[in-house]
Structure 1
Amino acid sequence: MTRRIILGIGDRTVASGLGGQFQELPDIEIVSVEATSGEVIGAVGAAPDVDVVLVDEDIGPLPALDLIRELVVRHPQLAVILVAREATADIFAAAMGSGARGVITDEPTLSELQSRVEQAAEWSATMRRHFQGSQDAPASGRLGTLLTLCGAKGGTGTTTLAIHLAIALAASGRTVCLVDLDLQTGDIPGYLDVQHRHNVADLAAAVDGLDGAVVAEALFVHPAGPHLLLAPPHGEDSEEISARAIRQILTALRTRYDLVIVDSGSQVTDANAMAVELADQVIITATPDVPSMRGAKRMTQLWTRLQIRREEDVLVLLTRQDRRNEIQPDLARKMVGAPLMKATIPASFRALEEAANTGSPTLVKNNDFRRAIGRVAAEAGLLDAPAAGTAPRRGDQGAALVEFSAIIPLIGAIILLVWQTVLVGLTSMYSSHAANEAARAVAVLGYDEPGSRAQVRDRAAARISGPWKDEKHLHIEVVDGYVRVTIDTPAVLPGLRTPFGITTSAKVVDERVR
């Protein structure tokens, strides 16, 4: 059986040495070699059938032990081995405490390397069979989705987007937690008109004893659906919030919610940089102007230099988009460098003004804005699949199908009724034309002789088109100086006849020369 492994090693010399040794071992396939912690997390997520991951103790920016914890939480069936310079008792104990399945040195013997990897791979295969065979445990070990939103600069609508995305996704039946990591200037309470005595700083202070009760007490449950973890009310409190605390807080939230949406503001700090690195999807909001385009590009390049996130793994979303803007999406795509989302947020400040001033986002009734929020959620992959551990709501889909099936006959009946009304109108018009023409013909030709009757009928029929002119449908009578023309109304369905006709009378003015 081939063992699939990933090497998370930033030192090229160590990576090259281990790679050469693995080439000498049979049935071992190196899936990829990653240099940063973020790349390791992404590679493991993209290759769920990996058996073993080797993590170098000097990898960054996330420390090796923290990276191991993150991998084990996300993928409990995955075996992780720590690569250390020295395999001391303290290092071994720390690695085991983080969830690693073993420790090897960066220059192991071939037999030692094979033994460690085989044992770890066998354990991984056993755990995978256990998860697949159990109906109570998710087969993938996947956590809730983490979406991080950043602003290219202040005022690009990051908080507004985060709030409306959270409300819309909560309304779709997902469990959603909105986290305000704009630690110095975050103002989600103002946008939602809420007050809560706990915030993210309280969770950071109690991060070593983080459990369900502590997390629940720190969150505010908004009536619109999402749960809120607010930023500290005083900006200086943000100095006490470490990247390690944010990592543990976000991991704890992801085990409890289908979606965790982070508003990280427009500043790069250790705390929100961690949210960017751990996120499944990162979106930068930018307005269509040169300063904002430059700000988005600077931010993605900064993340790349700090090895937080690669530029191609970030999406840029245009807000306040209007057809009259000088910078349109095609030009913006060339300016920012990173992928640009097809969805855009329209320039609808007036539609958002009342909601922002009153703290009531439900007051936004602008359909273009609401549809744009839905398109952003769909393009970001937030609506593609049901939450981990939950079955698709097929009952809703069935109900929708039944309702649609019931509507189809009604739509058909309405169309037939409209078309029948058109036929009645045409019949009435032809009847009027035919009566007038028949009255003129009778005035000139008379109607007593059979020959004249045929000519009157021919002249009347000349003013009629279609099936209305044949003898079965067109009837002409002359009574008391009036010509009465009756035309049977055609039925909209072939083979049927309507039980009524349209009759029109016209007075005969005798024009014959005596």
Structure 2
Amino acid sequence: MIVRILSGVADPDTARALAGLLHQLPGVEPAPAVPDSTTLLDALARAAEAGLDELPEAVVIHDLITPMPAMELVRDIALRFPAVGVVLLTADPSPAVLAAAMDSGARGVVGLPLTYADLGARVEAAASWAAGVRAHLNPQRALPVIPGGTMLAVAGSKGGVGTTVTAVQLALAAHSAGRSTALVDLDLQGGDIASYLDVQFRRSMADLADIGDVSTRVLQDVMYVHESGPALLLAPGEGERGEEVTDRATRQVLHALRQRYEVVVVDCGTQMNSANAVAVETAEAAVLVTTPDVVAVRAAKRMVRMWDRLQIRKPQDITVAVNRYTRGTEIQPSLIARITGTKVATSVIPAAYKELQAVVDAGRLQDLDNRSTVKQGIWALAAEVGLVAPAEPRPAAGRRGKRGERAERGERGERGGQGDRGQVTLETLGMTPIILVTLILIWQAVLAGYTFTLAGNAADEAARAQAVRKDARAAAQQDLPGAWDMTSFDAGSAGGMATANVGLKVPVLFPGINFGLTVTGHASAVDEETAP
């Protein structure tokens, strides 16, 4: 639940300190502070005209606000806007001031200077009180009573097999089918649903441990409605608080959820305790997630036997979901069924780590692409366990060759070895032109460098020939390969030195293309004919 807060603070320093702490509170959306009581009342009046849901859940008032005295302002807001919780800031939190604030209608008093813990507790109490009042003023917002919703327990054979990812995607699949869905994290000491969905919420399952009657109002205060649709009941942020949740409290909470949601998905984690044992025992269906490796399959067998010994659930009533499945694995689902003595889901979840990495790192598991083979596998599992209506079977296509079978595997998202080889072939074909162009450019650069060497050597030979009055042009062309054309030549003697300049054209790898690049070499030698 998002808590909207409107503040009335006249002192700029106090306003800055208050805004800084409010922005640190999880699930809080503070509006800019107003400097006087008149502006504050006008803002509340405009919000009330738009509807009850537009009013902020809490209003924070500084006792130095003007022109209306703070206590009168509190009393006025409590009378005119009873669905808004008021918190008073004061530098004198004495019993007399506290009594006066309570008499005026305030839901809490915070002393100055402000502290994070004190402000967070008072704002949360005021917001919870406002939510309860609104539930009575607007009854249609209450959760409907649904006779006997479906509950699915999801457990893991051991840590790291994908239990939470599977539970979250099963809940999203049920909600996408138009069914009201609750997702419960009963991995009380290490629950990660909040991390996978990027949720920061102060309430958890531990807050319901000591409540005797779990009503609609209580559920609304404790559960967080995620932007993707399902309502979340999270595990406590402090793992030690998980011990407060007893089997009796869990049974009561799950019963209340089943009366108000059509589908309840429970993430039981991998460590069994009295709380999640209740979920496995009372659920209509139980899914045990494992991976096709020896360690995980042995752990699944131990879990199944333990449930049977404790009379929590019989093996024939358990569905094993195989995660990270590949066609090349040695342990196939049929073998897992024989080892565990359970039913193995026909919908397997393929191994596709790259598909999950981006959304998991961002805490946006709900944004997993519909084309993801992991999502397709889990949503097919949702249909198999009865959370959503099964997809219509495809019409038979008669006999199919190998090409037809590969096309069908591509549509189902199952990528075998041939599909991988085909992808590599396409990628290689796409890179071939770039590789060829790169090699041509490298070879052309080598030719240009070699031309510099030839031009310098030809100039040296021509200069030595000129020094002894031999044919300098013939000497320059003597060692030139046939692919190099001499574009310019000049030789002469002056001042006792014989000089030569030779210009060579850089050859091109492809005939008919003229870059016009010419390299000139220059050399000189002592003119022996004029030497004394």
Q: Tell me the TM-score range normalised by the shorter chain.
A: 0.3 to 0.5
- Whichever of the two has the greater Rg, that structure is 2
Q: TM-score, normalised by structure 1?
A: 0.47
